[in-house]
Structure 1
Amino acid sequence: MLTTANAAKVVQRIDTIPLFLHAYAYHLNMRCGRILPADLLDIAHRQQLAGVKIHVLDGEAAALCHAGPEELQGFGARAAALGLELHIETSASDAVAIDEAVRIARHTGARSVRFYPRYEGHLHDVLGRVAADIQSMKARYSDSGLRFTIEQHEDLTSHELVALVAGSDWPQLSILFDFANMINANEAPLAALDAMAAHVTEVHIKDARIVAEATGNGHLACRSGHGGLPFRALLTRLLCLGDKQPQVRAYGLEEEVDYYAPPFRHDNEGPNPWIPWREMSETPLPEHDLPARLQQEIDDAAAQLVFVRQTLALIRAEAMGFLGEG
């Protein structure tokens, strides 16, 4: 709920909110070679966004993980010329994955590396492995000038992530808050944000329908504005994080219609539950009419940007009214 202080923050910050293109919004087109990493820069520039979040594997054969130093430097130079900030993402926390992401980040001039763990095992063992991975990053990359974010990605709870970040004693590490991923850890979006708020510096924006299963919840991503998430409330709270300066540095527009993630945490699971193996996120390609689906993905990404900007306008109007300036 807005207060006078928070309403003032909203009015001061909302017009310069750092919206980023997220490559997953074009996931199917990139898998099919219809959109390449370089194309994302042009799209983000046309949409007047602040930057691009891209995975090391986005683009299949044209992915950044396959590029040499000169090609990566060229990609970074093109982004800089367009006034775009780059963030690199990877889907693991082990040294091999992080080294690759850092290599790409350094050559492209990216400022941030996102990761999330994908370990199978009992919870306490998984948390121990992730904590060790973080200490390895801290030892190797504290002087890199990069920021690192760990994303809540469906299997660990908000309190477990906070404990990992707080226990790392590493100022360069913070949390990336995803609008939907806490659902699979048997949490609600606003409660999860409350738990992680002090550590959140980046965001993935999406919408989803919550799918109740036997002892937990999955989520089915959908077009923004058509799901069951408290979209406007989440954006409002995130805008208000940070006292004198905005705490959140990047809001990734991660539309991912038709992506489904099953429950990973369950009711009455006990203190040390088994965390199952999970593959990297992937939206299924259609069995028929692929060209129409690829165009629909492009349309969905454009519609998300419109919806987010409309929602921000509503938030701004509410704040102005609260301050008596409407």
Structure 2
Amino acid sequence: MDLDAEAGLKTMLSHNVAPGVSPPRITAAAAERLLERTANPPFFAHSYSFYHNMMHGFSPQDLARFAYEHDLQGVCLHISDGEASSVRRMTPVQRAGFRALLEELGLRLHLEISSTDRKEIDTVVECARSLGAKNLRLYARHEGPLSAVIEKVYRDLAYACECANRYDLQFDYEQHEDLRAGEIAAILARLGDPRMKALFDYSNSLNAYEEPLEALHILAPHIRQAHVKGARKIVEGDGWGQLGVPQGSADDELPGARMLYDLLMLGEREPQVICFALEQEVDYYAPAFRKAGGPADPVIQYREPSETPVDRNKSRDRLLSDERRWAVQQIAWNRSLVASFRALARRMAPERSETERSETDWPRVASLPQAAYGRVV
């Protein structure tokens, strides 16, 4: 195995990693798996990257076209994003048209809600069934003592599991700034339903006073989706807040390379993570919810759904352009990271035949489902 390549990969994977965290064990077999998993990672567009755009005319259809034009495999869409054009407010005819567009472009659709209330679960299930979506994200916003919140979340997710089994759906619970990874893992283990897994967000564990990489490793057996982003930790007394920044920029303090690597490598025979949603959240802010020390059963404060404040130093047109620009930059950064992984893994993998090597080394166009108008009937 090429020792220089191994050292280079370990250097990449150590960027922004907290001291004391062991590097992954890089073997020839691991290099082969990395080559397989980076052949065409399932990158999705996320509607939150266009948070302000979707308040000013950018529609779910525009998000789908963006994903198609940038060779992404699907879209993660909150059912309220897009104002009047949102999935929540679409008529049956409009949903049928949106579903047809997704099928024509060969895109997968994952839907999201910011609640675990039964009424909201029923709403997203109805939207999913009409649009042909199978994967749904949710997170709770309960308040009160932690022990009581955990019981409420368990009951909510048990109801979601009933719906998932009835309608052949999959739910993923996002660690969203209040519960810690171990608490979520315990709820999922208690449910014991394969239709309820976890969505790992790159930065949300900070608000629960937990390092992201530590949270990832605790949740690893349960993770089915991921929200990919850049962020900076903000020390707030005995807790941590977070501020969204362009992923890969000098302000990004997250161990993004290591997290992507670890997520790609999950799953023994097949990739465990089916969606890497590129959720650029520049200027997003969330305060500390959990703190160092404190009582064994801390009080969880109520929170509204996520929002990103308007930068008053910019015109609206500049703000909307910046969002679209940041979204494109994030795609390029993650694909560059994947290309670096592949270049180093190829040097560490066992020798292959000349045919195998030439097929692997030659750059390829992204392997996406063919659009309906491109298929030969």
Under TM normalisation by the shorter chain, which class is it? over 0.9
- Measure the CA separation in 1 of the matches of 2:172 and 2:164: 13
> 2:76 maps to what in 1?
53
Query: Does 2:73 align with 1:30?
Result: no
- Measure the CA separation in 1 of the matches of 2:164 and 2:93: 22
Query: Does 2:284 align with 1:259?
Result: yes
- Report SS of the residue matched to 1:16: coil
- Measure the CA separation in 2 of the matches of 1:259 and 1:316: 32
Post-superposition, which runs of at least 4 consecutive aligned residues in structure 1 deviate over 4 A? Answer: none
Contact 2:28 2:350 in 1 (8 A): no
Query: Does 2:273 align with 1:283?
Result: no
Counting only pairs closer than 5 Å after superposition, residues 115-130 of structure 1 correspond to structure 2 as 115-130=138-153
- Report SS of the residue matched to 2:38: helix
| Letter aligned with residue 294 of structure 2 | E
> 1:65 maps to what in 2?
88
Contact 1:45 1:84 in 2 (8 A): yes
More moved, 260-269 vs 316-325: 316-325
Per-residue CA distance 1:30-77 (angstroms, 9 max, x = gap): 0122x1111111111000110000001000111110112222122112
Contact 2:29 2:349 in 1 (8 A): no
> 1:44 maps to what in 2?
67
- Measure the CA separation in 2 of the matches of 1:214 and 1:280: 24
Contact 1:21 1:51 in 2 (8 A): yes
- Measure the CA separation in 2 of the matches of 1:180 and 1:138: 26
> Please, which of 176, 180, 185 is the counterpart of residue 162 of structure 1?
185
Query: Does 2:356 align with 1:322?
Result: no
Query: Does 2:294 align with 1:269?
Result: yes
- Measure the CA separation in 1 of the matches of 2:163 and 2:259: 34
Aligned residues with identical type, % of pairs:
38
> 1:134 maps to what in 2?
157
Contact 1:179 1:206 in 2 (8 A): yes
- Report SS of the residue matched to 1:211: strand
Query: Does 2:273 align with 1:248?
Result: yes
More moved, 248-257 vs 314-323: 314-323
Report the alpha carbon displacement of residue 20 of structure 1 after superposing the two structures with TM.
0.3
- Measure the CA separation in 2 of the matches of 1:317 and 1:76: 38
Report the alpha carbon displacement of residue 137 of structure 1 after superposing the two structures with TM.
1.6
- Measure the CA separation in 1 of the matches of 2:265 and 2:182: 21
Contact 1:23 1:53 in 2 (8 A): yes
Per-residue CA distance 1:236-288 (angstroms, 9 max, x = gap): 11110000000000000000100011111101122110000111111112324
Report the TM-score, using the length of structure 1 for normalisation.
0.97
More moved, 131-140 vs 175-184: 131-140
> 1:230 maps to what in 2?
255
More moved, 282-291 vs 233-242: 282-291
Report the alpha carbon displacement of residue 322 of structure 1 after superposing the two structures with TM.
2.3
Per-residue CA distance 1:63-116 (angstroms, 9 max, x = gap): 110112222122112101100000000000110111111111110111201000
- Report SS of the residue matched to 1:57: coil
Contact 1:74 1:108 in 2 (8 A): no
Contact 1:76 1:110 in 2 (8 A): no
Report the alpha carbon displacement of residue 13 of structure 1 after superposing the two structures with TM.
1.6
Query: Does 2:31 align with 1:7?
Result: yes
More moved, 59-68 vs 313-322: 313-322
Per-residue CA distance 1:211-235 (angstroms, 9 max, x = gap): 1111011111100102000010111
Contact 2:161 2:171 in 1 (8 A): no
- Measure the CA separation in 1 of the matches of 2:239 and 2:117: 28
| Letter aligned with residue 259 of structure 2 | L
Q: Note the aligned Cα RMSD (angstroms).
A: 1.2
Query: Does 2:43 align with 1:19?
Result: yes
- Measure the CA separation in 1 of the matches of 2:89 and 2:207: 32
Aligned residues: 325
Report which structure shows greater RCO (CA 8 Å, sep ≥6).
2
Larger radius of gyration between Structure 1 and Structure 2 = 2
Report the alpha carbon displacement of residue 324 of structure 1 after superposing the two structures with TM.
5.7
- Measure the CA separation in 1 of the matches of 2:232 and 2:27: 30
